[in-house]
A and B are shown apart, each in its own frame.
Chain A
């Protein structure tokens, strides 16, 4: 890799996963900067200076009128064209949780037929009717063009949301499937499809969808939080795994959490 890719992580207005998202990118070898949405809108921070834009988790504007709705409106109204230029320039965008909700409200996802302004999918209230914190297992579609998930088969991560049910009309779902844009799906512990079964599919997402990408694979949104699996001790099973490893005479070889692979893939892509 010739130069360290530069990542912009948005902050402000109730966003809250900016520190660990920036840390995850740094851990993956990127140079991350946290910047307030207003600094971006005012032009004090320029998108042109970055190769990756990260929309992180949180409760932007309190999520009072649909998660991510006002953040998307705010960005579209003020810097919508710059965002489209950023995408046009072949750069990378990731939206995690509230960021995913923002991307679908902006229309950057799913971006069917290259239309990055149309809202065609939604993330709505969990079927269980409440906010939920729980680790999930996702399987990754090997045919997906998504650059963030290359070489990955499954991943464990926490979900922490009240509005994570993926919804789209049947035709849209079919198009997403046909284009391999369904990147990530909730699964049972053995890797079989969750088939909508709670709590493995924690929110009632149609087709167990946990994350999607655009057709280029450079824009990626997901409800689970890879940045919250930045260290081995984040995983709920680590004390058991650790004990069993000890019995085999092994100790932890690395303290990096598997969630970092998502960010490493982004860094590797830009290094190619």
Chain B
């Protein structure tokens, strides 16, 4: 019989969670609640005596100082009760730790099928609150119906004795696992099967797949293991391996690119090979610090004699768009497994985030599944719990708003790790597998999570079917696994390691088996969350927190001993072979038998038509604007723009100090409230060496030309890293593309060819920038199909495509962290310099956006000239000549002068006439142009001569000075006073939009 424990805070204590809910109900929906008290409910579905449950209640779940609890519903006063619990099969992390605690306390083991389920009820007091208000709070603030169920009770319908009753969201599948054999007598049949089973096979792949199964030799070999037609396990496996996610068919495709203005045509055979692999291999040959690129889960660079560092980044867009918290936590915890699975495994040292969202205050007609405000809240919290609970600092991140992301949001996550250069005398970046090595699955168990992606269809819900295939990351389980695997690595027990992400075992085993050239897997050995999974589901499930490890059988005993010590589940699920085959059995019966080289052979290349129409021909033009006459108000309004204003509330939720390595924090300056250009950590505590890390996202320029968007984004990321003291000779890059669909379709995607051309142009810029700046691409990923179909006012749907977006990350080793500088002005009397030329480049700028324009003159990067400039600035920092250094980014000179002043809580007196410029005759252009390649630096009087000498060949000018009085004073081109703004009023404006959020 089930038991239920209710726990709540003593009445006199502030209920912070309830208080937050009250605040949100007011802010989001203008609903006035007088009080909210939270009751935690632990439902125990296990055969225990009341005495045992009573012990559990008092010794585990009740803090005698602060809480009261009961096995019966607690009498907490309310007008409305909102109950929220998980749907069946959704990862209940607190439920799992509750089981651990109970078993420890009572010295027993729960039986198979017994479990603990946690839920909450919120007791609302509010005299004017209606049922529809209560349902709004439950459905739109508290619960997401993909993963949660909820109920609303008023006083008349609340039974004080029974409370919420006993809700047991246990998965019961009542299904006998079986392998289906599928006849593929024609291409049409296979195409139909692909549709029916959501295999998403590309039509061009279908003949190749059929041809394989028709081969006489293949048929005769299959006959020997009692197989004939393909099984569902096999087709699902091929589908996973051929998916764009796993195979990068788009970047490997053939692009027919045509410039409609010049009529020039070219064919690009694989964007990846042409623009990513080629330049990176050329740079690797020149840069001896590049250790390993282009093949493993992440790239590897040398940190120092004894250590390598590891970096990669990816996105988790679609899942986050459906279930913000679950998608985001799965994203961050998932990316952390990539460095863990690189080389023989690395320890995580840092993560970062980048969110692209619809406007937080969106109130238009389109109805996204989750409002951007709620989506952003959930995403922030998911990455917060995923990073903080993993014990990994998150010292950098960005948030970007644009209506294009209403269709689908972007959630970028990046991870860095570190490993000894050698493990037991062998290079840590290398790994292989020998025939006879054991295949081991470590970490979490397998359920129906992540099979064929997330589905929002509520028709699939019933009381006991697993909900929507949604994954919820579990940083606790993964942290245990991380600590275990690092120890196993250091003892030399790990021959090969890789993570289970997209495609699950099918991908991790399928790819690792190439190293020995085969494997035998016994699927029945894979530990499951619940019975009833079909074999193909076990094989492709994306259940989280799992790594696949290959070990020498001689190390099995020690490996398992360490695994037990760390309370991590590890299971031998098969053996690597050199048979050339993936051979999968279930209880001795073969269910898949596929040649490993099938997936690397003879599939037709995807083809794309790309047509480029230059922006002027598309009708873009510079707006005709008269001069503004209130520059002070204009600057303040620019500071309030969502993409410029303070987002301190996000940074502070992320632990950026854990591991004790923090050097340059996300927020710097006197008030510790202004964002830094980049982050610096000191990952080896005994060493003065540092790692600099920065990222940039400027998708707005794609509205004009994705070539320049890409060049500017890379330039900004590099400039950010230079600004804190990074060494341009040692920068590596990570490219993360997020693109709308580029497959042309007359009705469904009429501008597909344009989007394809944008992708080609972006890749061209990437190659040129990396080559000129000398940045090898250590890692990168792409996520296509960033489009959504949103219902409008009349039930019609609208396709909303994201801007073509690239997030670019830069990392680099620096010799001495004590040479770093921050962006805040530091001492009155210092000279203020602008380095770099300001041009008439307001196209796609924040200023034009404020005034409702796009424009045409997008900022252009002169990579050759900038590269020399950055070396000079880096040298000036290295020689200690700069008191502060800050790049000029989104918003232009005015916004970034304001940030330098706010950072130091000091004034700046600036003469615009002195700012190096070309072709500008008006102040607003000077103030808000977003020309690339520029810095604002402050220099002590005694260093000015040396600094000017060092930058003599660069466009550099002293444009003013730092003042004690905290006022930003800007004089116009004719010398007259344009604006004078106090730091106080600028901070008030800049913190205005999100300043109340915590």
Contacts and interface: CB of A to CB of B under 8 A. Distances in A.
B663 interface: yes
B998 A19 contact: no
25 contacts: A14-B476, A17-B391, A17-B658, A42-B565, A64-B93, A64-B98, A65-B101, A70-B97, A77-B105, A119-B65, A124-B16, A127-B14, A127-B19, A131-B384, A132-B652, A133-B653, A135-B672, A228-B657, A233-B818, A233-B820, A236-B668, A236-B672, A239-B664, A247-B827, A255-B688
A39 B565 contact: yes
B476 A128 contact: no
B816 to A, nearest CB: 10
Contact of B389 (A14, A19, A65, A70): A14
A74 B20 CA distance: 32
Interface stretch (A53-61, A81-89, A143-151): A53-61
Interface string B723-737: 000000000000000
A65 B13 CA distance: 17
Interface in A88-144: 105, 119-122, 124-135
A33 interface: no
A209 interface: no
A234 interface: yes
Contacts of B105: 73, 77
Classify the interface of chain B: helix, strand, loop or mixed. loop
Classify the interface of chain A: helix, strand, loop or mixed. mixed
Given A17-B658, A59-B476, A231-B660, 4 more contacts: A14-B389, A16-B659, A20-B660, A133-B655
A204 interface: yes
A232 B660 CA distance: 11
Nearest to B391: A16
Interface string B665-676: 100101010000
A59 B388 contact: yes
B997 to A, nearest CB: 9
A63 B656 CA distance: 19
Interface string B871-907: 0000000001001000000000000000000000000
A168 interface: yes
A134 B655 CA distance: 9
Contact of A62 (B17, B93, B104): B93
A167 B390 CA distance: 27
Contacts of A66: 63
Interface residues of A, number: 73
Given A62-B93, A62-B97, A38 B565 contact: yes
A129 B18 CA distance: 9
A168 B104 CA distance: 28
Nearest to A23: B685
A9 to B, nearest CB: 13
Interface in A223-250: 225, 227-234, 236, 239-240, 242-244, 246-247
B817 A233 contact: yes
Contacts of A252: 818
A19 to B, nearest CB: 7
Nearest to A120: B65
A19 B685 contact: yes
B665 A236 contact: yes
A112 to B, nearest CB: 13
Given A125-B17, A135-B672, A239-B668, A73 B685 contact: no
A129 B381 CA distance: 12
Given A119-B64, A120-B65, A132-B653, A240 B670 contact: yes
Contact of A70 (B20, B60, B665, B827): B60
A160 B16 contact: no
Given A122-B66, A131-B655, A233-B663, A65 B60 contact: yes
B16 A127 contact: yes
A182 interface: no
Nearest to A162: B388
A16 B16 contact: no
A211 interface: no
Interface in B460-517: 475-476, 479-480, 483
